[in-house]
Amino acid sequence: MNKTTATLIEQLAPKQLADHNLVPQTVMPGVLYEKRPARNRAGEIVPDLYNAWITLDNPKQYNSYTTDMAKGLILAFRAASMARDVVAVVFTATGDKAFCTGGNTKEYAEYYAGNPQEYRQYMRLFNDMVSSILACDKPVVCRVNGMRIGGGQEIGMAADFTIAQDLANFGQAGPKHGSAAIGGATDFLPLMIGCEQAMVSGTLCEPFSAHKAYRLGICTEIVPALKIDGKFVPNPTVITDRYLDEFGRIVHGEFKTGEALAEGKALLKQGEVDLSLLDEAVEKLCAKLLDTFPECLTKSFEELRKPKLDAWNRNKENSRAWLALNMMNEARTGFRAFNEGNKETGREIDFTALRRALAKGVPWTPELIDSLMPGAE
């Protein structure tokens, strides 16, 4: 900054600025809000400017969001929007295992299951959480530090950019656990990857790699995170060395199988996870955003968000009502199964038994639900 600009700032800056936040900044359990110094393209700290890091901090439960965490995210994105000295928002999570796996299934199973009126109120918070990301006055970069699954995928896709470490998996989980991917995925996925691939992800619930997410267009950039003997290597459980198989089908980014998968898993155990390249890539993107006219940048991302916003606003309210009512049967069953199951029994119900019972006209009763739990006899 030259001396003339510095002098003008000193002379013209108001003595006191208005506070446009609704409430004083409130810290909620499970959400961290931190302003970190912004850096230019040379990596140098820029005085008086920051990037707001909003971090999901519930690693013991794979950074799944609780009711309080939903409130915390709403407040954090509001605070970042109103912070005049914030250039960009980095939306991430603690650790290297998970960005977010969606709503907290323990809370769902133990409090919301069977209480649709309570879940409807919770879904107001959820909708406002997604809307707070989509309406943030600063560009939002999703730093994917680990798996981004279910509702975690939905809040991640609400961001403007995604940079992921390549050990992360992406995908939906709804129909496998008693829900539907209508917290954003059914709105965003068709726009981002096309209707066919959106159908595959939203119904079959098969996770896919960061490399495939990058190929499909969900990620801005991916970086390696596994270090073996001090050298970064690509995810060894994923095909990264060729694009097509012998029949011309795309295999780049698909998970390996058989012996190749076993070898890849063995390599994973030998290495260590290092997210330094992820942080470097995030800082580089934020530095590029810094080098723009702020209002022109804001208008640009507001316009580019419109397809996602239009789809989201069109569907969010009727989705909220359906999800609440679903807590009386399928969600009540699926979340209980996930919460009560384990590695030995699995965390999914007996889908065949359920379909056979419903085909005979059996009503949803507590006894039927109990009979479908993992390990039930």
Residues 311-326: tens digit of each pLDDT: 999 999 999 999 999 9
Residues 341-365: tens digit of each pLDDT: 999 999 999 999 999 999 999 999 9
Give which of 105, 65, 63 is closest to 332, Cα–Cα: 105
pLDDT at 86: 98
Q: How confident is the model at residue 233 (pLDDT cuts 50, 70, 90)?
A: very high
What's the average model confidence in pLDDT over 144-150? 98
**What residues does 55 pair with on adjacent strands?**
32, 92
Q: Where are the chain's structural domains?
A: 20-225+274-316
Strands of the 272-273 sheet, one edge to the other:
231-233, 226-228, 272-273
Q: Is the model's pLDDT at 72 over the cut of 80?
A: yes
Q: Is the model's pLDDT at 189 over the cut of 80?
A: yes
CA count, 13 A, side-chain hemisphere, 175: 12
Give which of 303, 305, 298 is closest to 137, Cα–Cα: 298
pLDDT at 225: 98
| Run of H or E including 233 | strand 231-233
Give which of 263, 235, 231, 104 is closest to 170, Cα–Cα: 235
pLDDT at 263: 97
Strands 161-165 and 140-144: parallel
Residues 15-70: tens digit of each pLDDT: 877 777 878 777 789 999 999 999 999 999 999 999 999 999 999 999 999 999 99
Return the number of other C-beta atoms located less than 10 Å from residue 353's C-beta. 13
Mean pLDDT check: name the lowest of 9-18, 67-76, 120-129, 342-351.
9-18
What's the average model confidence in pLDDT over 177-190? 95
What's the average model confidence in pLDDT over 280-306? 98
| CATH number 3.90.226.10 is the correct assignment for the domain at 20-225+274-316 | yes
pLDDT at 165: 98
pLDDT at 247: 98
Q: Is the model's pLDDT at 224 over the cut of 80?
A: yes
pLDDT at 377: 78
